[in-house]
């Protein structure tokens, strides 16, 4: 799991500095087999989450889901799924905290810089040569917008250097998490989001006064929308799809379904970029050919 296991959400509360550190309470029911009663309670809890907030738990890896639910259970001091279900029913704010925990939305500008380098050098030149009047880029699982806006900066830079009209590019960022998308719309970021971006690009594209505010030229061809990758219809006719650090959390069958959907969402010869620890597998790997294996860039066959 990438940034999952060490998430800051999993840190036990600290006592005052002069007190000895508190022992971290164990994560309830996070690991190991469940007895029949706990398994039934977990099924009921998933059902309740799904019917109340529409979050489709079944698509996610059970191990991952249990660990995340356990983090919230520990935070609220409950020890069984039934107790947690009851707490959720009486505390709507807890649903929002739970969904935040389940969807982990850490991102950065130019995350894995070598990927962006490869895209600028080898993928954009090919895309701009096409006769298509519009070039569509989709950041699927865009979290708070860093990936979609990195794509916007990349194409603006490319357009300037190569005398291409930047308005040919249309960038869509989608996510299941509305709060993240609201953050993306504000386009204001902290130092953390800036750790991977080249300082020259950062200077050119952000105003800095405590926070980093993305300049309007980089925002004008980007829009955001809510979309559940597992259950909603996907956009079509895309030229480049980013889906990084999202499918890692999904069950294998869902991953396979998504590879097929990404294939169908791309124009022939369109590109798919996965996260550093994600891979195409099974029959779905025949749908794409590898362009750059280390950078996880694939092309619709």
Ligand X SMILES: C[S@@+](CC[C@H](N)C(=O)[O-])C[C@H]1O[C@@H](n2cnc3c(N)ncnc32)[C@H](O)[C@@H]1O
| CA dist 85 → 31, 34, 61 (Å) | 19, 17, 20
Burial class (CB in 10 A: 0-12, 13-18, 19+), 83: middle
User: Interface with ligand X includes 107 (CB under 6 A)?
Assistant: yes
The nearer residue to ligand X, 105 or 221, going by C-beta atoms, is 105
Output the smallest distance, CB 291 to ligand X, in A.
18
Cα separation values, 1 from 7, 26, 69, Å: 11, 20, 16
Kindly list the distances between the CA atom of residue 170 and the CA atoms of 3, 20, 114, 166, 240, in Å, as whole numbers in the listed order: 29, 55, 23, 9, 11
> Is the Cβ–Cβ distance between 176 and 229 less than 8 Å?
yes
Decide if residue 172 touches ligand X (CB under 6 A). Answer: no
- DSSP E strands in the chain: the ranges are 135-140, 169-175, 188-189, 206-209, 211-214, 222-226, 238-243, 266-274, 288-292, 297-300
* Cβ nearer to ligand X, comparing 41 with 111: 111
Supply the minimum distance, in Å, between the C-beta of residue 32 and ligand X. Answer: 25
> Binding marks (x or -) toward ligand X, 111..150, rule CB under 6 A?
x-----------------------------xxx--xx---
In this complex, which beta carbon is closest to ligand X, that of residue 180 or of residue 295? 180
User: Which 3 state secondary structure label does DSSP give 18?
Assistant: coil
Task: Build a one-symbol-per-residue string for 248-277: x at contacts with ligand X by CB under 6 A, - elsewhere.
Answer: ---------------------------x--
**Shortest distance, position 173 Cβ to ligand X, whole Å:** 9
User: Does 296 help bind ligand X (rule: CB under 6 A)?
Assistant: no
Residue 10 interacting with ligand X (CB under 6 A): no
Distance CA 256, CA 246 (A): 13
CB of 50 to ligand X, least distance (A): 12
Task: Rank residues 181 and 266 by Cβ distance to ligand X and give the closer one.
Answer: 181
Chain residues in the site for ligand X (CB under 6 A): 103-107, 111, 141-143, 146-147, 175-177, 180, 228-230, 244-246, 275
């Amino acid at each position: 799991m990438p940034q999952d296991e060490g998430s800051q959400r999993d840190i036990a509360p600290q006592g005052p500095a002069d007190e000895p550190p508190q022992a971290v309470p164990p994560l309830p029911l996070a690991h190991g087999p469940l007895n029949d009663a706990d398994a039934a309670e977990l099924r009921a809890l998933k059902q309740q989450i799904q019917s109340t907030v529409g979050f489709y738990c079944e698509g996610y890896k059970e191990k991952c889901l249990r660990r995340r639910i356990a983090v919230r259970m520990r935070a609220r001091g409950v020890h069984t799924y039934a107790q947690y279900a009851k707490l959720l029913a009486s505390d709507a704010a807890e649903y929002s905290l739970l969904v935040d925990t389940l969807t982990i939305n850490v991102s950065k500008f130019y995350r894995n810089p070598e990927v962006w380098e490869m895209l600028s050098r080898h993928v954009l030149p090919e895309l701009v040569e096409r006769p298509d009047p519009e070039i569509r880029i989709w950041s699927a699982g865009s979290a708070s917008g860093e990936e979609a806006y990195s794509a916007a900066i990349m194409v603006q830079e490319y357009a300037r250097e190569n005398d291409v009209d930047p308005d040919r590019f249309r960038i869509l960022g989608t996510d299941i998490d509305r709060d993240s998308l609201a953050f993306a719309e504000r386009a204001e970021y902290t130092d953390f989001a800036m750790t991977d971006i080249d300082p020259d690009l950062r200077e050119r594209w952000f105003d800095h006064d405590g926070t980093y505010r993305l300049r309007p030229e980089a925002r004008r061809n980007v829009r955001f929308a809510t979309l559940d990758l597992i259950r909603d219809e996907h956009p079509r006719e895309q030229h480049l799809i980013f889906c990084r650090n999202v499918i890692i959390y999904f069950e294998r069958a869902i991953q396979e379904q998504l590879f097929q959907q990404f294939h169908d969402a791309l124009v022939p010869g369109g590109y798919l970029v996965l996260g550093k620890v994600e891979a195409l597998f099974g029959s779905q790997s025949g749908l794409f050919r590898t362009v750059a294996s280390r950078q996880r860039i694939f092309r619709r066959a």
